[in-house]
């Protein structure tokens, strides 16, 4: 294949390729067909598919978090999913077929096994392509502890990772194994079996919890609930209306005719009945509301040791508990619309030529508005319409208390993020800060912007004068003076802005290069960083030295990975190496790097 230069070195220095150990792979589209290429345009997966990527799980029921976890798992396994005529399959990046293009639904990879559905039947594969079970089951679940629940004609049992039926299909329902136990239903009654299919708890109960927790599981008989232990022994005879929470820190919560109670593993009540239980026992404390209306935390002796009259209370973790207060919010808005004839106007700005003189004016609120997002009113009228609305609602704000009841972080602040082991972001009076887990400020709430970068070991901050600097991630002290018009984290280095130009800094503030770039894009990878200088995109090394300058016809480019980077020329994508040599001509309509 002919190679040509899309870039030229503008310095008289040796242009040495800096190759990463990882390989470059990309899903590409050409003539509406997808496949996968490497950095030299070798077709790893032929371009014959409707789509290709790390994950094609685009079901609306799949959450963003679940989708990202699926992408990460497929990346770790080095797998690519393809789709053709509505069915999918998996390949390795080298092009080896792992699962034929055949299934319309699948699970995520779990312990290197995958459940698939083909024409309404379920089967299983291993991540090396080994068939565990051809699609033959009417229903199925993912493997757990080496066994998977499968069903045929309404009867359920278990198979092992060799596809052998380990426990016969004899149950009406069968749950997943956890701690060597699984919940099953036989003849309409519930029990628990071990991995050999032996009944640890006989199938005689009307109901049962889905799994053991801390060695106990709830069981129901004659409409009342009790507990069995991991051996199957009845630890607490069924006597409660409902189980509120399973055992944790030695106590469970249950409902009685007189109210809610905490019980120990012998079934002894810890407290007199209370009105509400807001969480489990954790770190020796549990949040409750007594029948006299007092809210707070009880200890393991059943005594209120913290009074906490807040709207919501959470359990303690690492000596902190989240609490919430509800505050009133007011949302107002309005607009003027000139419309043709009569219309139903929802208050969003719009302008049309008036043909009528009638004027409709609406002032009021919408009883159906829930306050979840900005809203600008509704009214009906012709000609000139003026819509004004005020919506009132309530939102809950988060705070934290310690085990003495002392407020560590006030819920009155504008925003308090969930606590991590390092601390949490807070916004107070529209300014950002960062609080340690003991409630002390690591970074006071005085900054318009605050970005935590673990890789750089810094907080990048913007002050009241729109000037940027950086603070220590661990101590909060000033590391880079506030003197820049912008700071950007690029991985192991930073970009800084002075006026309209960008330069590069080390994370200790040492200047690597003066601000000469119009724009900094992406991250430093393979000792190459994408920038724009004038009308051209270019790549610089970690000292800001321009090593590749791209032709003006190249309007888009990406980060390097494995010694290669994608570029777009006149709407088509190609690839270059770290010396700027074209290794893949710009011939693809779409290109998604898989690394």
pLDDT of residue 328: 75
Instruction: Indicate if 255 and 285 belong to the same structural domain.
Output: yes
Lowest mean pLDDT among 349-363, 423-437, 460-474, 528-542: 349-363
End-to-end CA distance of the chain: 25
The answer to whether position 106 is within a domain reads yes
Instruction: Indicate if 203 and 321 belong to the same structural domain.
Output: yes
| pTM, 2 dp | 0.81
| pLDDT at residue 299 tops 90 | yes
The answer to whether position 246 is within a domain reads yes
Instruction: Indicate if 224 and 316 belong to the same structural domain.
Output: yes
| Backbone φ and ψ of 94, nearest 5° | -85, -5
pLDDT band (50, 70, 90) for residue 164: very high
Would you say 280 and 245 are in contact if contact means Cβ atoms under 8 Å apart?
Answer: yes
Which of 280, 300, 325 delimits the end of a domain? 325
Which of 90, 121, 137 delimits the end of a domain? 137
Instruction: Indicate if 338 and 246 belong to the same structural domain.
Output: no
- The residues, ordered by sequence, that sit 6+ positions from 305 with a Cβ below 8 Å of its Cβ are 285, 296, 297, 298, 299
Lowest mean pLDDT among 183-187, 283-287, 378-382, 393-397: 378-382
User: Which is it for strands 295-298 and 286-289: parallel, antiparallel or unpaired?
Assistant: antiparallel
Q: Please give the distance of CA 463 from its chain centroid, rounded to a whole number.
A: 30
Instruction: Indicate if 306 and 344 belong to the same structural domain.
Output: no
- The residues, ordered by sequence, that sit 6+ positions from 203 with a Cβ below 8 Å of its Cβ are 184, 185, 186, 187, 189, 190, 191
Instruction: Indicate if 283 and 301 belong to the same structural domain.
Output: yes
Would you say 419 and 322 are in contact if contact means Cβ atoms under 8 Å apart?
Answer: yes
The answer to whether position 504 is within a domain reads no
Instruction: Indicate if 206 and 317 belong to the same structural domain.
Output: yes
pLDDT band (50, 70, 90) for residue 332: low
pLDDT band (50, 70, 90) for residue 331: low
The answer to whether position 531 is within a domain reads yes
pLDDT of residue 173: 97
Would you say 562 and 19 are in contact if contact means Cβ atoms under 8 Å apart?
Answer: yes
Concatenate the DSSP letters of all residues of 67-113 into one string: HHHHHHHHHHHTEEEEEETTEEEEEETTS-EEEEEEESEE---BTTE
Q: What is the pLDDT of residues 61-72, one digit of tens each?
A: 678 899 999 999
pLDDT of residue 111: 86
Would you say 205 and 223 are in contact if contact means Cβ atoms under 8 Å apart?
Answer: no
Tokens of 425: 């972001």
Q: Where are the beta strands (DSSP E) in 139-285?
A: 139-140, 147-152, 155-160, 165-171, 173-174, 181-186, 189-194, 199-205, 207-208, 216-221, 224-229, 234-240, 242-248, 251-256, 259-263, 276-277
- Report which DSSP code applies to 474: T
Distance between CA atoms of residues 312 and 481, nearest Å: 41
- The residues, ordered by sequence, that sit 6+ positions from 520 with a Cβ below 8 Å of its Cβ are 488, 490, 495, 502, 529, 530, 531
What is the sign of the dihedral through the CA atoms of 582, 584, 590 and 594? negative
Would you say 97 and 108 are in contact if contact means Cβ atoms under 8 Å apart?
Answer: no
Instruction: Indicate if 299 and 368 belong to the same structural domain.
Output: no
Instruction: Indicate if 116 and 3 belong to the same structural domain.
Output: no
Instruction: Indicate if 251 and 338 belong to the same structural domain.
Output: no
* H helices, E strands: number in the chain: 1, 57
Would you say 555 and 568 are in contact if contact means Cβ atoms under 8 Å apart?
Answer: yes
Query: Whole-number mean pLDDT of the chain?
Result: 87
| Backbone φ and ψ of 76, nearest 5° | -60, -35
Instruction: Indicate if 334 and 316 belong to the same structural domain.
Output: no
Domain count, the chain: 4
| pLDDT at residue 383 tops 70 | no
Instruction: Indicate if 52 and 62 belong to the same structural domain.
Output: yes
Query: Average pLDDT for residues 477-504, to the nearest whole number?
Result: 96
pLDDT of residue 63: 86
The domain that holds 240 is classified in CATH as 2.40.128
Q: Classify each residue of 285-319 as buried b or exposed e, where b means 16 or more C-beta atoms within 10 Å of its C-beta.
A: bbbbbbeeeebbbbebebebebebebebbbbbeee
The answer to whether position 553 is within a domain reads yes
Query: Average pLDDT for residues 348-360, to the nearest whole number?
Result: 35
Residue 219, Cβ neighbours under 10 Å: how many? Answer: 26
Which residue pairs from 445-449 have beta carbons closer than 8 angstroms and sit at least 24 positions apart in sequence?
Answer: 445/413
The answer to whether position 420 is within a domain reads no
pLDDT of residue 329: 63
What is the sign of the dihedral through the CA atoms of 550, 563, 56 and 70? negative
Distance between CA atoms of residues 182 and 203, nearest Å: 12
**H or E stretch including 66?**
helix 64-77
pLDDT band (50, 70, 90) for residue 18: very low
The domain that holds 560 is classified in CATH as 2.40.10
- The residues, ordered by sequence, that sit 6+ positions from 465 with a Cβ below 8 Å of its Cβ are none
- The residues, ordered by sequence, that sit 6+ positions from 436 with a Cβ below 8 Å of its Cβ are 422, 423, 442
Which of 121, 137, 153 delimits the end of a domain? 137
Query: Average pLDDT for residues 5-16, to the nearest whole number?
Result: 33
Q: Which domain holds residue 369?
A: 326-396
């Amino acid at each position: 294949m002919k190679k040509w230069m899309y870039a030229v070195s503008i310095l008289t220095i040796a242009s040495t390729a800096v190759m990463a150990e990882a390989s470059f792979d990309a899903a590409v589209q050409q003539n509406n067909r997808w496949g996968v290429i490497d950095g030299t345009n070798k077709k790893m997966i032929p371009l014959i598919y409707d789509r290709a990527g790390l994950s094609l799980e685009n079901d609306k029921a799949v959450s963003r978090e679940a989708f990202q976890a699926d992408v990460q798992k497929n990346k770790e396994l080095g797998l690519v999913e393809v789709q053709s005529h509505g069915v999918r399959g998996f390949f390795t990046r080298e092009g080896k077929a792992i699962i034929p293009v055949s299934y319309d639904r699948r699970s995520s990879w779990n312990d290197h096994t995958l459940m698939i559905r083909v024409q309404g039947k379920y089967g299983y594969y291993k991540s090396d392509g080994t068939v565990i079970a051809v699609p033959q089951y009417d229903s199925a679940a993912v493997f757990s502890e080496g066994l998977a629940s499968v069903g045929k004609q309404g009867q359920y049992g278990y198979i092992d990772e060799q596809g052998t039926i380990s426990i016969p299909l004899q149950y009406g329902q069968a749950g997943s194994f956890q701690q060597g136990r699984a919940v099953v239903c036989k003849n309409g009654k519930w029990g628990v079996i071990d991995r050999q299919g032996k009944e640890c708890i006989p199938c005689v109960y009307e109901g049962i919890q889905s799994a053991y927790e801390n060695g106990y599981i709830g069981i129901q008989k004659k409409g009342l609930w009790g507990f069995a232990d991991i051996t199957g022994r009845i630890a607490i005879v069924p006597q409660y209306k409902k189980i509120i929470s399973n055992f944790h820190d030695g106590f469970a919560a249950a409902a009685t005719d007189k109210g809610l109670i905490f019980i120990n593993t012998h079934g002894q009540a810890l407290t007199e009945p209370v009105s509400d239980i807001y969480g489990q026992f954790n770190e020796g404390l549990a949040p409750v509301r007594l029948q006299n209306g007092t809210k707070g935390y009880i200890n393991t002796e059943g005594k209120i040791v913290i009074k906490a009259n807040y709207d919501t209370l959470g359990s303690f973790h690492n000596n902190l508990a989240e609490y919430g207060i509800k505050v009133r919010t007011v949302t107002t808005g309005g607009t003027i619309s000139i419309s043709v004839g009569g219309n139903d106007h929802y208050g969003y700005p719009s302008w049309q030529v008036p043909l009528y003189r009638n004027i409709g004016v609406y002032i009021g609120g919408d009883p159906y508005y829930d306050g979840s997002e900005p809203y600008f009113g509704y009214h009906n009228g012709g000609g000139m319409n003026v819509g004004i609305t005020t919506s009132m609602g309530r939102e809950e704000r988060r705070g934290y208390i310690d085990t003495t009841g002392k407020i560590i972080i006030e819920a009155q602040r504008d925003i308090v993020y969930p606590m991590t082991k390092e601390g949490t972001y807070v916004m107070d009076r529209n300014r950002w800060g960062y609080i340690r887990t003991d409630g002390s400020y690591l970074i006071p709430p005085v900054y318009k912007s605050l970005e935590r970068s673990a890789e750089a070991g810094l907080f990048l901050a913007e002050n009241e004068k729109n000037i940027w600097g950086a603070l220590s991630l661990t101590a909060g002290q000033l590391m880079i003076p506030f003197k820049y018009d912008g700071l950007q984290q690029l991985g192991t280095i930073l970009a800084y802005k002075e006026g309209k130009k960008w330069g590069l800094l080390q994370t200790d503030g040492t200047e690597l290069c003066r601000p000469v770039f119009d724009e900094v894009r992406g991250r430093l990878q393979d000792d190459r960083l994408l920038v724009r200088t004038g009308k051209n995109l270019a790549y610089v090394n970690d000292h800001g030295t321009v090593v590749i300058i791209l032709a003006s016809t190249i309007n888009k480019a990406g980060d390097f990975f494995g010694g290669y980077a994608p570029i777009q020329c006149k709407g088509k994508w190609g690839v270059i190496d770290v010396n700027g040599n074209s290794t893949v001509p710009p011939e693809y309509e779409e290109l998604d790097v898989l690394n």
